[in-house]
Each structure stands twice: as C-alpha cells, then as structure tokens.
Structure 1
Amino acid sequence: MSSTRVTPSGAASVNPAPSGDGKLHGRRAIGLVATLILAVVAFQLNASMITPALPDMARTLGVDIDSVSQVSSLFFLAGAVGGVLLARWSDFIGRKRGLLIVLGILSVGTLLCLFAPNLQILLVGRVLQGASSAAFQLSYVILNESLTKKMFATMLGVLTAINGGVGGVDGWIGGLLTDAFGFRSLFVVIFIVGVLALVCVWLAAPEDTGAASSGTMDWWGAAALSVGLICLTYFVSTGGAQGWAAPLTLAFLAGTVIAFVAFVQIEKRRATPLIAVQHLKSRQVWPVIATTVLTLSSVFAVINFTVVMLSQNSEVGFGMNAATSALMFLAPPALIGLAAAPFAGWLSARVGWISILRIGLVICLAALVVITLFPQSQWVVFGMIAVLGVAYNGLVLTTTNGLGVIQSPAEAPSALPSMNSAGFGIGASLGIAIVAPFVASGGIGGFTLALWVSVAITVLALVASFILKAAPSRD
C-alpha cells in the first residue's frame, strides 16, 4: 500500500510503505537504507578514490599535472551544477526514476573514463560522474519521505559519514590499485559498484506513484543558476590564482552577478520555479545555505589546507612528509566523524537540529581559537583536529545536511537540499582561496593570520545559525 498526501501547492506526494504510519519499517527499511548507502558510495568513490591516481593519469595520457588537475576541478564543478538540476527534477519525475537516471549517468561517465584515449574524453566522463552528485540529495529526500523521523535522522548521519570518504580508506585503496594496475583499474571498480547500485535501486527503492511538485521543471531558471554557479566557481579559483582585482577575475564576478540577477527575475515569473523567491528570502531557507557556505569556508579550509600546509612546513611547522601529515591530521577527523555523524543525527532528532548545529559551531569555534593561539604545538593542534572530527565532521555536517531536507519548501522538497549541496563546494573553494595568500606569504605570522581569518568566518557562520528559523512541523 502507499499513502498519499497533498502539498500546499496541490500536488500529490507519495510515501510508499506497508505500515499504517506511512513509513517503511523492518526489512524494507533496512533494505532501502542499504540500497541508498550503495548509491552514495558509488558516487563518493569518484570523489575520494581518484586523487592518488592523478600522477599516473598524467603519465599515461601524456599531459602535465596542471592539465590533469581538471579531472578533479571539473568533477566538483559538475557536482554543484548537476546536483541542483537533477535533484530538483526528481520532484517532477519521481525519486526512483531520478535516482536511476543519476546512476545511469554515473555509469556512462565511468565507461568514458575507463576507455578514454585522451584527456579530453576523460574530462567528459568526469563531468558526467560529477553530475551524479545528486545521488546524495536524492538519498536524503528518499530517507525523509520513507522513514520515521528518528530513523531518518540516524540514517542521514550514516550517509553524511560516507560523504567524508570513509576515513580515507578508499583513497588508500585507490593508491594501491593504481600502483598495481594503473588508474583505469579504479574505474573498473567504480563501474561495478555503480551498476550494482543501479540494480539495487531498481529492485528496492519505493515505486514512483506521484510527483512531489505540480507543473514542469523550470529549465530556464536552472540554466541561469548553473551559469551563476560556474562563474562563481571560476571567480573564486581565478581570484586565488591571479588576484581578486585581475581583469579575468572581475569578468567572472560580473558574470556571477548577472546570472544570479537573471535567475531571480526568472523565478519571479515561473509558475513552478526552481525555488520561489519568497522562500529564498525566508529565514527558514537562506540561513541554511549561508551557514553551510561559511562553515565550509572556515573549518574545511583549516583541516584540509592550513593545518596540512603547516604540518609539512619544515621552518615554522612540523616538517612532516605528505603521508605522515595525512595520517595525523586528515585521517583522524574523518574516522571520528564516521562514528560521530550517526550519533549526531540520533541526537538531533531528540534535541533539535538547529540546537545541535549551534552547539557544533560553538565547539568548532573554540577548537579553532586554540589552534590559532598554539599553532606550533603539534599535539595541541592534533587534539583540536580530533575535536573538530566530532564537532565539524559529526555535528555540523550532519545537521546542515539534515536541515537542507527538513527546511526545504513543502512544494519543492529537493530544492533546498540541492542548493545546499552546491554551497558545500562553493564554500570549500572560497575558504582555501581566501586563506591561501596568507599561508603562501611564509612565516608563522602568515599561518596565524590565515587561522584568525577562519575564526572570523566561523563567527559569521554561528551568527547565520542564530538567524535560522525552524520550519513548521509537516506531520
């Protein structure tokens, strides 16, 4: 049986379940969760397993490292754009159909990468793989629609933990496979996992018996938003490389402004917009995106850039090699987050998503201040990075993902999750671009200034979280 409810827009929304409360229980719930875990793993392997193979790609395809870096940059850019488009499209065509399309795109892209004779074909494949980032947003929404509140919260924490790359284990395996068989062996593994996920979704995902949104997909708005995200991404990367006042940087900034203004004007005129302008102005929506962008700009930059660079600096830092640095400062927070994220979801369902977000941000802020005050104390930095594993990888990432789902407008359930996902990529890029010049200036003063900048951005994230207003219950 399936239970049907009507959204404020008048569209039928379906919650497939055999139970009286309209939610899946028992084996069906476990089977759905396992299927969605497989679907997001199929995407995540593309994000974190490939990095060790970049040098081998460059050698095999006869290109330099600078050129092959596009294998990662275009992947994440496509993820920001594809996540928004494909996740929102599922509101009109159905969740299961949307997820099958996403996994189909992933499989086609993986085949192109596997047999790519040159860098150009490889990049086309990576763009298709990146667009499949919608697997995460669709999985979050399917969990919310199919499981009880408490089970949704815990399982969302599990998926969030996977989003961190499973503690760096997949990257390590990627390095072993590349050394033994070359970079193409990674795409063989990814293709097998992707096809297996596609079959499982076909068999285990709830059937589509209605649409969550009435009307049709707003492709014009999607196009304007996509252009804006692309221009914003290149504005950040170009600004960090060539300077924020460089002509090309300013050109991308102008393109960003024009595209977003066009997006707002288009949304005002659409019967079924990508996301209504009144929602974008609501305290239930924009502070979620702002908190995500600001948190990634601060904490992500500290863990994945500033501390890594400091640990490898032999003059004012700890003088570690790359492997030791990763083992000490990257693997611990990822592994801790793997355990903390499901607990964070469980706790959020009982205490409140916004409350746990604020608690996580306060702990992040305290840890960053300690690192900033004692940047040359290796064990103090290590201890605070471990704290960030709980606060950032566990509490903050789980709650920002969860809020993206539960705060989304009822007539557009996938709109906010998809835009919030784009905020993750934009925030990570922006944070590194902001602090990189200070780190590159050399000396402990440059590192300290970079850390204080991250502290200031974290304060802004905390402020945004206090502006955030909880959406009314939709029970």
Structure 2
Amino acid sequence: MTSRLPTRGTEAPSGDRHTAWTPRLVRRVAVLMLVNVMVDTVIGAPLLVLPEMLDHFGTDQAAWLNASAMLAGAMWAPLLGKSADLHGTRRVLVTALLLCGAGALLCLIAPNIWVFIAGRLLQGAAVGAMFLSVALIRQICAPRIAMTAVGVVTSGSAILGAVSPFLFEALAEEFGFRSVFVVSAMVAAVTAVCVRGLLPESPVRTGGRLDVVGAVLLGGGLAAVLSYVSLGSEYGWFSAGPLALLVGGAAVLARWVVVSRRTPEPVIDIGNLSRPLVLTLLVVLLSTGAYQSMLQLLSLIADIAPADGLGYGLADQGTLGLLFALPSIGIMAGGTLAGWLASRIGPASTLAGGVAIGMLATFGMYLSISHFPAAVVFAGLLGFTAGAIVTSAFNMATSTAPPESQGVVTGLVQVMLAIGSVLMNMVGAAVLTSTTVVVDGAEENSAAGVHGYIGIAAGSFVVATVVSAVLARRRA
C-alpha cells in the first residue's frame, strides 16, 4: 500500500517538481554532484596509496583493502534503497554520508588491518549514496528534466578524475596514506550538511515496515559471493576459504528467496519485477563488467613497451596520462548526452546506443593493445560508454517503477554495477594468470591471455547489445 506523506520543513510538495532548469535546480544538482565526488574519494582515492597501506599493515591482502568498500556497497544497497522509500530519500542519504564519514575516521585511526577493513565496510555506504542521489532527482524533478539531471549528476564528477589523482598523490607524499581518509571524512561531513540544508525531502513515501531480516540476508549473501570472486583468483577457486564463502553465500541467498516469498513487504519483491527492469539489470551486469575490465586492461598494458616482444604494449609511444584522463572526460560527455537524449528518444534507446558503442570500442581494443593512438581513441570511447550506460540504466530502471519505489530500483541497479565490476575484473585477471609466459626469469602476461581477456569482454558486450536492442524495441 502506498501513501503520500505531508511535507515537513524544507520538503517539496508533490506538485512542486522542477519542470525547467532554474538556479535552484542547478544548486541542487551541484550538491548531488558533490555526493558523487565523495564516492570517488571512497572508491578511487585509496587505490593511489594501496602500496603504502600494504606496507603499513604488513599484508599482501590488496583485494580486501581495495575491494572491501565496493563489496560492502552491494550489502548496503538493498537496505538503503528500501529505507529511502519508507523514511525519505534525503534522510537516508544523509545517514549514508555520515556512515561513510565515520568509516573514514575509523580507517584513519585503525591500529590493525581488521579495524581498517571494518572502516572500509562502513565507507561502503557511500556506494549507496550514489544511487540515492539518482532516486532523489527522479522524485523532485519532472521526468523530462530528471533524465538530463541524472546524466549530469552521475557523470559530472568524473571530470575530477583527471585532477584528483595528482592531488591525492601530493597529499600522500607529504602526509602519508592516512591523508586520503582525512579528505574523505571532510568531504562526507560537508556533503551531509549541504544535502540536509539545500535539498528537499522526497515527497513520496511507502507505508509499511522495513524487512531487516531480508535486507541482511540479501546483502550478506551478495557480499559473500562477491568475496569469493574477489579472493578466488588469489587463493584458488577451490581452496577451502573462498569455497566456503561461495557455498555460504549461495545458501544465504537461497534462504533470502524463501523468506522474501513469505514476507508481506520484502525488501525486494522478486515475484513482482517487471520484464523491462529485469532486462535492464541484465544489460547493466554484462556491460558494466565488460567496460570496467577493459579500463583495467589498459592500466595493465600501459607499462609494457612493444620492444619487450610480448606482442602488445603502449609504453614509450606517447603520454600515458591521456589513457587515464580521456575516460573521465568520456564519462562526463557520455552521461550528460545520454541524459539529454533520453528525454527525447527514451532511456531504452540511449542504453542500447551506449552498449553498441561499447561493443565497438571493445573490439577496437584488439588494435589498441599495441598502437597508442588507437588506444587513446578507444579509451575515450570506453569512458563515453561507461557514462552513457550508467545514466541510461538509472533512467530506464526508474522509468519502469512508480515514484514510491525509486529507492529500491536504483538500489538494484547499484547492486548490478557492483557485481558486474567485480565479476568481470576477476574473470579477466584469472585468464591472464592462467596464460602467463616467462621472460628473463619473470612471469609476464602473454599476448594470448590479453586477446582472450578482450574476447570475454567483447562476448559480454555482444550479448548485452542483443538484450538492449530487444528492450529498446519493446519499449518503443
């Protein structure tokens, strides 16, 4: 049962949706862009100081230090999404930001790796902050304006990706790796104040209670399965620890399915998911993992020179900074353009177009692994694909759901983004590990492994292209 709650304080009445770009809407979009900047400080910035963190804690568990926040995001997403529909998107967004800030402070003072990982798990709430910003935009804007605004919010902060690495590297060199978490805590606090003071509360709420048991089962099961994928390539896919995570996670997810069918108001009503939403989630899973794995491959081959005789390599051919700056620019351009086009031709068509461009760019990687100019072009296209797909997926998912379910459906998209990213990156890494060659006594990735890596991503994009074309045709 759905209820429309009366407004309080700065809450916007349901009839007071933005129908045009005004200075007030620009300010609100800027605040939500700041939310995604904060997400970047949680997910991306620690990668720049990963070696220092490993040395400080005396461990080689890079996967846990790096991926723990993203894995925790998959656990947080269902709980935050349903909570937003019940209690208000702005309120839950502020809570997620405060949790993220607390996690950053815990990482800052962590005396050992386990306390540090606990802080990273709290920081995972930042992943939820990203999709909650999308849900809030959809609730306070008319659909035509909302689609463009979603594009700006989800991709506009990407331009900082070309600048922030230099800032964080300078801070880490001067003050140590902990400075990254000082910045993250400060940005989280400032963003929470801005969200609370400058944004309205969502005007539509659902009635009922939060299915805490279902949320814990779903989030815990997803986190365990993704942890298996994250650790399996390092410790062995059939070793005791990772295999226990897989079996335990699968059992928890199976239990969640049983419990959700018996619960009157489950955190996700799996029996009531529409076909367009299911197809959208499948496209997100396949395409997100594919383009993320390609961006990872570029970083792996950037330090290899053609003169090394491995059959690939980009070093000594040009300014490698272009390979990492252009995807950020592409994300901003692709997301903004996809949002603008979605308001005119529909998000299903823009999603299909973004996936098709990604497929072409991935096949172009066969040429890019040894030719720097081609690598620059296709890196930019992959960034463009990333922006277009994320924006279109959020727009498509929210267009299939009523206003009172925006938190849940955007949370589902976020879960698919996390699963796709972790899954395809780890599968690609496993392919490279199984096909290494020995050169001058050192193991190196082989050309066969690199080509197989690209082939898996290309195949994933081909399937995603077919599914997105079917979706676009049905929606038309």
Name the TM-score, length of structure 1 as normaliser.
Answer: 0.88
Aligned to 1:255: 248
Between stretches 420-429 and 310-319, larger displacement belongs to 310-319
Residue identity matched to 2:219: S
Deviations 1:102-150 (A, max 9, x none): 1221222222222333333322222111123211111101101111223
Residue of structure 2 in register with 1:296 after alignment: 288
Structure 1 pair 101–470 and aligned structure 2 pair: CA distance change class (3 A) = farther
- Structure 1 distance, partners of 2:82, 2:473, is 22
Q: Does 1:79 align with 2:73?
A: yes
- For residue 456 of structure 1, report the CA deviation from its aligned partner: 0.7
* Contact kept? 1:141, 1:413, Cα under 8 Å: yes
Q: Measure the CA separation in 2 of the matches of 1:420 and 1:434.
A: 21
1: CA distance between counterparts of 2:335 and 2:121?
Answer: 29
Amino acid at match of 2:83: W
Residue 48 (str. 1) matches residue 44 (str. 2): yes
Secondary structure of the corresponding residue to residue 77 of structure 2: helix
C-alpha separation in 2, matches of 1:21 and 1:471: 32
Deviation string for 1:27-84 (max 9, x for gaps)?
332232222222232232111122222233344x3423x1355222211111111122
Counterparts of residues 418-433 of structure 1 (less than 5 Å) = 418-433=411-426
Could you tell me how far apart the structure 2 residues matched to 1:381 and 1:402 are?
A: 30
* Counterpart residue identity of residue 160, structure 1: T
Q: Show the 5 A alignment for 1:180-329.
A: 180-207=174-201, 212-280=205-273, 282-304=274-296, 306-313=297-304, 314=308, 315-318=310-313, 320=315, 325=320, 327-329=321-323
The equivalent residue for 2:441 is none
Q: How many residues align?
A: 457
Task: Give the aligned CA root-mean-square deviation in angstroms.
Answer: 2.7
Deviation string 1:150-174 (CA, Å, 9 cap, x unpaired) is: 3222221122215647333222211
- Which letter does structure 2 place at the counterpart of 1:447? V
- Residue by residue over 1:259-315, the C-alpha shift from the partner in whole angstroms, topping out at 9 and shown as x without a partner, is 2222222221122111212233x31222122111111221210122x2322333333
Pairing 1:23–2:18 present: yes
Measure, in 2, the Cα distance between the counterparts of 1:274 and 1:41.
28
Once the two structures are TM-superposed, the CA of residue 319 in structure 1 deviates from its matched residue by 5.4
Alpha-carbon contact 1:214-1:272 (below 8 Å) kept = no
2:443 aligned residue:
none
Partner residue of 2:34? 38
Which amino acid is 2:456 matched to? Answer: V
Give the equivalent residue in structure 2 for 1:435: 428
Cα distance change, pair 393–195 in 1 and its aligned pair in 2 (3 A) = same
CA distance in 1, matches of 2:379, 2:430: 22
Q: Are 2:327 and 1:333 equivalent residues in the alignment?
A: yes
Structure 1 portions without partners, runs of 5+ = 1-8
Equivalent residue number for residue 347 of structure 1: 341
Which of 453, 458, 463 is residue 466 of structure 2 equivalent to?
463
Q: Please state how far the C-alpha of 1:471 moved relative to its aligned partner.
A: 10
> Cα–Cα, structure 1 residues 24 and 75, in superposed 2: closer, same or farther, change >3 Å?
same
Compared CA separation, residues 233 and 107, structure 1 to 2 (3 A): same
Inter-CA distance 91–358: structure 2 relative to 1 (3 Å threshold) = same
Counterpart of 1:143?
137
Aligned partners of 1:215 and 1:271 also within 8 Å: no
Give CA deviations for 1:307-344 in whole Å, capped at 9, x if unaligned. Answer: 322333333222528x964x132221112222332122
Shift of 1:246: 4.3
Amino acid at match of 1:294: L
Match of 2:457 among 454, 457, 468: 454
Which amino acid letter does the alignment assign opposite residue 320 of structure 1? A
Structure 1 residues 83, 165: CA separation in 2 closer, same or farther (over 3 Å shift)?
Answer: farther
Aligned residues of 1:409 and 1:415 also touching (Cα < 8 A): no
Q: Which amino acid aligns with 1:435?
A: G
Question: Which amino acid in structure 2 is aligned with residue 297 of structure 1?
Answer: G
1:362 equivalent in alignment to 2:365: no
Cα distance change of structure 1 residues 69 and 235 upon mapping to structure 2, 3 Å threshold: closer
Q: In structure 2, what is the equivalent of residue 110 of structure 1?
A: 104
